[in-house]
Structures are given as structure tokens and as C-alpha cells.
Chains A and B, each alone.
Chain A
Amino acid sequence: MTDMSTAKMTLDWVPFTPKDVPLGHDISLLDLFWLVKQEHETCYLLESISHPRHQDRFHVLGFSPALLLSARGDTLTVTGRPEIMGRCFGTETDSLKIEGVNPYEYLSDNLDMNRGARSHQGGLIGLFCHEAMNYFEPSMKLEEHPVFEPFRLGLYLDGLILDTVTQSLSYYTYDEDRSEEVKALLSKLPLENSGGPVETRYLGASETEESFSKKVADTQQKICEGYSFQAEVGMKSYFEVKGDKFTAYKHLREVNPSPYMYYLQFGEQELFGASPEILISSKSGRILTTPTAGTIRRGADEAEDVALARQLLSDPKEIAEHNMLVDLHRNDISMVCQPGTVVVEDLMYVIKFSHVQHIVSNVVGVQARDKSGFDVLRCILPGGVVTGAPKIETVKIIDANEAQPRGPYGGAVGRFGFNGDCDFCLPIRSLFCDGDQCFAQTSAGVVYDSRPAHEYQEVQRKLDGMRKTLAKFAGEAQ
């Protein structure tokens, strides 16, 4: 371990164009991921298996990144292959700590991600927690989650891309060629059944209906006093998951097929989810956010769907909440966009998901020339959908309400690509595991006239997908 507080980091040595290796077509990326997971303790899978797919025609997989970067307080820890460390830092070591820095600003200041290539070909990929906000907003002093660091990223120099339009799979690499290793795994496909046995147990929740209702009432008092317009009141549900968590993810894909599905593994930490929305994306300098708020169930047929959508879009409370989010998102992306380019491209359209319909708007803008992908994520994390407005004051209310740090819930999962693009989804409807100990969080947007019983129902309903998924494996190994 080398201590270096003044070390500079560079990615200037990364080639502009990766080598591509076509691997065939009609291959199950999911099953391949399971095989990869048996041999690599750090890996990821990002896939999009229901509309809307604002970005992800391409599903991607990566394993054993060249470097791992994680933040704790004012320390950035980097581990990896000495050869890569040498190219990045000028010192061939397998691990170093950069202390006394703001780890996010360190990356932002040091790394130029405009390396050419295409947006899905690697980059810095991983997880940001809610508490990463401390790095963006100096007035925040949120307690960090004991297990999940404010952020954890892999530097992925190679990986697999599945083009879902052509069903072709390809391997890319900027450095070492591991395609033979991938081909060896491909030779094991198709599998009869991927995923090992898993056993789950529900351990309880952080709130009872009574304690939750009290928090709703306290929050409403703060709203009436002018400290917030809307604040998300949340609760955690705890589970024990023993065995192969991939099996649970595979089932989640069936129970709740979603536009932004992900599986991240960093050793003992495994996180997976079925996110309905992106947090933010920037492609070729065009920024997109899709604030999603306002929910109603699906109808039995087209006519009932329409009737329910009509009911949703004529509910003044739902519209007011959505208005607030649209203005909040306009504000957030204005921090990184050219003045005059931020517009509400589509206002309040309705998307039908597998179980519910949501009101969604597209807020877009043109990224300012002097802003990077790091600036783009910084402007919006944590997203307004899981916090509220005004954001800083509201996060203080959330912090006072919730006994434990949120950790990954409402943070960001995604990628800073080597072409300067970035793409992050919102980790909600997700399970966060440290070994066998896992939790899910759900929250409800509280406004001055919310009814506590209704909000409690909402946090329960939002948990349905994950609860149903895990219940299938309750108490007995498959």
C-alpha cells in the first residue's frame, strides 16, 4: 500500500479506439453473466428489458476491471494491476490511497474521459450512494453508510456488448485481450438452467405503520413551515439471502421486467434492481432526464388503461407534484447546460409499465462545452424523485427522519463512458446485499395534504415486486 496525497491520475494512455472481436449471435448474455460471475468477483450487467429504452439498445457486461476506485470520506482508494496503476499514477503498486482530497473532485479534475470510442465501450462503471452528495454540496455532512462507500467504480477496459436489434454479441478491449477466456465460457452455452440455489428470509422493516405515519406528520409540519414543498419519507426492509443471488435477479426480471435492470458485484457486495427510470444521461452533449412521478394501476384492457390515465392526469395533487419535479430537473441540468437550451421536450406523457402507469416528462438540454460527465452527474445526484425540493433542505429532513444512511438507494448506477457520454439509472426497486444481509428501500413523496395511511400503502406497494421475487425462495433452498 502506497500513500500518495498528491498523486496525479491520468487515462491519457487509453487508446482512442478499442479492438472489436465479434463473438456470434443469439447468445444469452444473462447466462453468460452467470458463468462470468462464477470466476470473477467483480462484474456488472446492465440490460433493458422493457420500454421505454431511452438509451439501451445495447446490453453490456464487464468483469475484473483493470482498477477499482472507492471513496470513503476524504480518501480515494485505488487497487488494481500494478502495470495499469503505473500507467495511471506513474507508480507500479497494487494499491494506493489518496488522502485529504474530495475523491469525486479528484476524479473530475484528473480524468479526461473524452477518449473517442463509442458510449457502451467501457469506462468507469459502478455505483454512487445517496451520501455522495457530501462531495457535491459542501454544506452537507451526511453520515456515510457503514457498508456501501459513497462511490465505488471499476475502470473497465474491456467487456461485452449485445446489440439487441441484431442479437449479435461482441467483445471490445482497449488493452489486454481476454476474448479467448470469453470464448471458453461461450462454449459452455446454452445452459439448461443458470443460477444456483438460493434461500431468502424476510427480517423485518425499519418502520412500523405507526412510526412511519409519525414521520409523515413531522415532515408535513416542516412543509407547512416553508422548509420543503415535497419530501420523500422512506423505510428499509431487511432480508437474508443465502446462496446464489443471481437466481433471485433472474426471477426479478420475470416479476418486474424493467427498462433499466442491473446487477453489480464487488466481492461481498452484490446489488441488483429493476429500475423504471434513468437518473440522467448525456449522449453527444445532449442531456436527458425523465422525471417520473404520479402513479396509477394498469387497467384490465385498453379502455380501462385510458380511463385510468385520464383519472391520473386530472388529479391536481399528482400534477402539482409532477410540476415541482419538472422545475427541479430544469434547475439541476441548467447547472451544466448552455443557457437557453433547457426545455421540457415532452410534458406529462403516460408510460404503461408491467404493473403501473406513470406520468413522465422529458427535460433536455445541451451540455455546455466546458462541462464533463462528472459535472453532469454532480448536478443531479441525489435525484429529486427520491428526495424532493428544495433539495438541500429536504435532504436534511430526510436525514433526520431516517435512522440509517440510505446508501445505494436513490444514488446512481451506471457509466462514465470513454467518449465523454454518461448514463446513470436510479437504483430503486432494488436489493442491496453485503454477504447474506440485504435491504431494499422504498419511499413515498409527502406533500402538505398527504394521508399517512395512503403513503404507507404506497411504500408497501413499491416493495411488492422485490417482496414477490424474494418470497419465491423463502425458507427453502431450490
Chain B
Amino acid sequence: MSKLRILLVDNYDSFTFNLLHMLEERPDVDLTLVRNDDDFLPLLEAGEIDGVLIGPGPGSAEDEAYFGRNAEVITGYGPKGLPILGVCLGFQGIFHLFGGTLKQAALPVHGKVSALDICGDDPILQNVPNGSMVMRYHSIIADPEGGIPDVLEATAYAEASEEFAANGKELMAFRHRELPIFGVQFHPESFGTNFGHTMIDNFCRIVAERKAG
């Protein structure tokens, strides 16, 4: 079988290359790295990409200056069945573009781990045990009061802790109900996340299945 052509979108971030290595370690992946304001949409248009990983990044996913062409990837190519995994800023962008509300957390969580409370069947979290620790770096959260958009299914929350109680219920992962679109608020690429490789392998499996038709 031909290689999985995965596009990794760098949002001018400092964790992108951790994700890049997780993908490049796999002999079946042919990786293309771009920045969010590069002219990469023609690659998608030409059908030369099998899956997109939208990485973390600073700023707001609602601001084009920080989210670049990712919005067009999600709204233009997501509905055509292109597998997309959003990490942190990518998660927030997908959540926002499908109708969710983002807000500043009462307490930013930077460099701290939480246990995952897995509540849905999420192919990205397959073989990830409930209670696994995940590393978090974010100031913005999916606003729980705004509700989860109908097309998305919440699949994991951060296990409630006294330390982050002020933030309320914090969404950590979702999947689209019909499309192969997924988001994780935490950082699978961090050294502090358990089973991060499993999650990336799961995404590659989804891309492979889609590619095989």
C-alpha cells in the first residue's frame, strides 16, 4: 500500500516538531510540514493529502492571523471526508467552526497534567486506558456553558480536580458524529502524556482506513 500522505500544519508553535517526530517515526507516513499561512490548499485540492494534523499554537483559533488557512481546511475539506485531527489550537478551531463557543479559562493550565475521564467511543482514544495522564498547555477552553455543537460528541473530559475547579468541566476530546474529524485539547506529543503514540497511531489507522476506502 502506498504511504499515508499526512499534512502537519504548524501554527508558529514550539511543539510542532514533537508531533512531527511521532509521525516520522512511522515508515508508512509521508509527511509534509507547512505553516498555517503557506499556500498549501492546492495540495488538498489536488487530492495529494490523506489526512491533516492541525497542531497547537499561540493566539486564538477565531483570529485568522493565528489560525491561517486551517479554517478552510476544516470547513472546505472536512465535509469531503478528509481525516483531520486538531491538537490544542486545532481542537479549539474545529470546536469553534462547528458552532461551539471558546472562552478564556479562569485558570490557565500550562505544563500540568490531568487524568482523562473518557466518556465516549473515540477512535483516537482506542486502547488509551481511562484515567491516563495527559499534559495540558492552554489558556482558552471550549466553553461548557455554550454547550457541545450537535455534530460533535464529547469523548473525554479532564477528571475533576480541586486545583482546576474554577474552570468548571473541561472538555479534553471530541469526535465529529459523521466525519473523521477529531480534537484533543491536551498534547499527545508531550513527554508528560501517557499513550500519546497510541493516539497518533490511531489517527494514522483512521487515515489508512479512509484511504483504503
- A: residues with CB less than 8 A from B are 139, 223-230, 316, 319-324, 326-328, 330-332, 334-335, 337, 339-340, 342, 344, 347, 384, 389-394, 447-448
Chain A nearest CB from B66 CB (Å) reads 9
Report whether A390 and B13 are in contact in the complex, using a CB–CB cutoff of 8 Å.
yes
Are A229 and B137 in contact, with the CB atoms below 8 A?
yes
A225 contacts B110, C-beta separation under 8 Å: no
- Nearest B residue to A347, CB-CB: B191
**Cβ-neighbour of B14 out of A227, A322, A332, A448 (below 8 A):** A332
Contact between chains at A223 and B139 (CB < 8 Å)? yes
Contact A225 B14 (CB under 8 A): no
CB pair B111–A323 under 8 Å, yes or no, is yes
A448 and B58 in contact (CB under 8 A), knowing A224-B139, A226-B138? no
Report B125-146 CB contacts with A as 1/0, cut-off 8 Å: 0000000000101111000000
Bound Cα distance from A131 to B143, whole angstroms: 39
CA distance A34 to B101 in the complex (A): 65
Number of residues from B at the complex interface, CB < 8 A:
33
Distance between Cα atoms of A335 and B19 in the complex (Å): 11
A223 engages B108 (CB within 8 Å): yes
Asked whether B15 lies within 8 Å of A327 as measured between CB atoms, the reply is yes
B20-28, B43-51, B167-175: which lies at the interface: B20-28
- The verdict on B18 contacting chain A, using a C-beta distance below 8 Å, is yes
- State the CA gap A448–B107 with chains docked (Å): 8
Asked if A225 and B135 make an inter-chain contact with CB atoms under 8 angstroms apart, the answer reads: no
> Counting CB contacts under 8 A, is B195 at the interface?
no
Q: Let me know if B17 is at the binding interface, CB within 8 A.
A: yes
- What residues of A have a CB within 8 angstroms of the CB of B192 in the complex? 323, 327
A390 touches B111 (CB 8 A): no
Evaluate contact between A332 and B110: CB separation under 8 angstroms: no
Given contacts A331-B14, A331-B18, A334-B21, contact A225 B112 (CB under 8 A): no
Q: Are A448 and B139 in contact (CB under 8 A)?
A: yes
CB distance from A397 to the nearest CB of B (A): 10
Chain A residue nearest to B189 (CB atoms) is A327
Does B77 touch A at the CB level, under 8 Å?
no
Min CB gap A188→B, angstroms: 51
Does B59 lie at the interface of the complex (its beta carbon under 8 Å from any beta carbon of A)?
yes
Name the distance in Å between B6's Cβ and chain A's nearest Cβ: 13
List, in ascending order, chain B residues with CB within 8 A of A223's CB. 108, 110, 139
